[in-house]
Amino acid sequence: MKKVAFYTLGCKLNYSETSSISRMFEDRGYKKVSFTENPDIFIINTCSVTENADKKCKKIVKEAKKISPESFVTIIGCYAQLKPKEISEITGVNAVLGAAEKFRLFDYLDDFTKDGIYASEIKEAKTYNASYSIADRTRTFLKVQDGCNYGCAFCTIPLARGKSRSDSIENIVDQAKEIAQTEVKEVVLTGVNIGDFGIHDGRRKEKFIDLIKELDQIEGIDRFRISSIEPNLLSNEVIEFVAQSKRFVPHFHIPLQSGSDAILKKMNRRYLSDLYQSRVEKIKSLMPNCCIGVDVIVGFPGETEEEFLTTYNFLNELDVSYLHVFTYSERPNTKAVEMDDVVDMNERNKRSKMLRGLSEKKRRYFYEQQLDKTFNVLFEEDVHNDLMHGFTENYVRVAAKYDPILINEVKQVTLKSINDNGHVEVEEPGEVFAH
């Protein structure tokens, strides 16, 4: 029995796909093992959102060969599609499979003794491959959409994953029902641009709102959580449905990228700041305790100090809960890489630091607003210093004294206080603290 190990870089979508590919191996009699258990085969699923992700891939290959020098190393994922020849030249890499090939690796590699590059043009990535992760018993990432038809100036994802395409509502509901038969309590919907759900064979046939309405009816899953969704696709209808749904939780992650309309236009985003603000206001009017996360990029070409401060002030005044801050990095074959007025890297780093500080303040303020309120916490097998952790429905990370019987259980709790370190101390049984 050959042993195979997996390593995933990047987003929730990559994790869902790695998990599905690993099940393909197990169905064929391979033994799935950890990275350090001297595998015969390594499958490394890559990301290429930033230059740093590319460097990580090279490091992982080096470590794999240290652990198992005679192993067969296969690279899949976004980096593999964008730079297959470059990856094939990394010492230790045996095979590279692109977006159209990664779910057919047994067709190309057979018994995993055949080296080569198998990465066709991205226009060939037309097939939708269903995926969901079963990494632990608490939650799963369920893929509902792939690819993107947008052309944001900074982004390589359309080049790495192809055009927008989706599974059918019927198939996704069937997958969710399969998940409901396991111990999983929470399902996170994921994709490249999930609000664009419903395109089959190049034509829109279904809508995201209809998908979530169907999923809301599935028994056996306590929670559904929507991952990142574009503000122009987060309709009032979706917001209103989540506000009254049985299973969809009050948590949205909405990319902003910039609070400056001039920069949003340069980025080729499909909205301006006033629409973004209206979405946040709509959410908070219906769900005052809703958690709202924000993606933001600093140091985009041409971003002046004044435009950065416009973003900072916009976010400072907006009722959002935390930020994911990205320092702009140049990516080949994007529109942005050809733009003038490049922002100095030291300046980019300074701006990132400022926004990360703002994020900490936002998160703490959001947590403070939740104190003395009652929520449902899904506790995970995440134990440190005799404290177990979990998340409320509105994405407050909490901790309580370790009790094995609570793992993978949803428990109603009252949030009591936040200490100086953001950790928790349990005063009475059943009470937990924002962490």
Domain end (from 310, 337, 363): 363
**pLDDT < 70 positions in the chain:** 50-51, 53, 135-137, 419-435
pLDDT attached to residue 1 = 87
Q: What is the biggest distance separating any 2 CA atoms in the chain, rounded to whole angstroms? A: 61
pLDDT attached to residue 400 = 86
Task: Give a yes or no: residue 129 inside a domain.
Answer: no
Residue 402's Cβ-count burial label (10 Å; 0-12, 13-18, 19+) is: middle
| Structural domains in the chain (count) | 3
Which tens digits make up the pLDDT trace of 244-265?
999 999 999 999 999 999 999 9
Domain end (from 88, 123, 158): 123
Task: Give a yes or no: residue 128 inside a domain.
Answer: no
CA distance 368 to 427: 18
Q: Give yes or no: residues 356 and 378 share one domain.
A: no
pLDDT attached to residue 254 = 98
Task: Give a yes or no: residue 134 inside a domain.
Answer: no
pLDDT attached to residue 429 = 40
pLDDT attached to residue 425 = 41
Residue type, 256: L
pLDDT attached to residue 432 = 53
Instruction: Report the SS3 class of residue 154.
Output: coil
Instruction: Report the SS3 class of residue 335.
Output: coil
* Boundaries of domain holding 294: 139-363
- pTM here? 0.92
Q: Give yes or no: residues 278 and 417 share one domain.
A: no
Q: Give yes or no: residues 340 and 397 share one domain.
A: no
Q: Give yes or no: residues 146 and 119 share one domain.
A: no
CA distance 254 to 276: 9
pLDDT attached to residue 423 = 42
Q: Give yes or no: residues 147 and 28 share one domain.
A: no
Q: Give yes or no: residues 297 and 221 share one domain.
A: yes
Q: Token digits for 430?
A: 């059943």
Indicate which CATH number applies to the domain containing 105.
Answer: 3.40.50.12160
Q: Give yes or no: residues 286 and 144 share one domain.
A: yes
Task: Give a yes or no: residue 430 inside a domain.
Answer: yes
Q: Give yes or no: residues 115 and 208 share one domain.
A: no
Q: Give yes or no: residues 144 and 262 share one domain.
A: yes
Long-range contacts of 357-363 (CB under 8 A, 24+ apart): 358/312, 358/315, 358/316, 358/323, 359/322, 359/323, 359/325, 362/315, 362/320, 362/321, 362/322, 362/323, 363/321, 363/322
Task: Give a yes or no: residue 131 inside a domain.
Answer: no
Which tens digits make up the pLDDT trace of 328-339?
999 889 999 999
Beta-bridge partner residues of 326: 297
Task: Give a yes or no: residue 83 inside a domain.
Answer: yes
Q: Give yes or no: residues 85 and 231 share one domain.
A: no
CA distance 308 to 323: 15
Q: Give yes or no: residues 354 and 378 share one domain.
A: no
Q: Give yes or no: residues 229 and 349 share one domain.
A: yes
Task: Give a yes or no: residue 238 inside a domain.
Answer: yes
Which tens digits make up the pLDDT trace of 90-123?
999 999 999 999 999 999 998 898 899 999 999 9
Task: Give a yes or no: residue 304 inside a domain.
Answer: yes
Indicate which CATH number applies to the domain containing 190.
Answer: 3.80.30.20
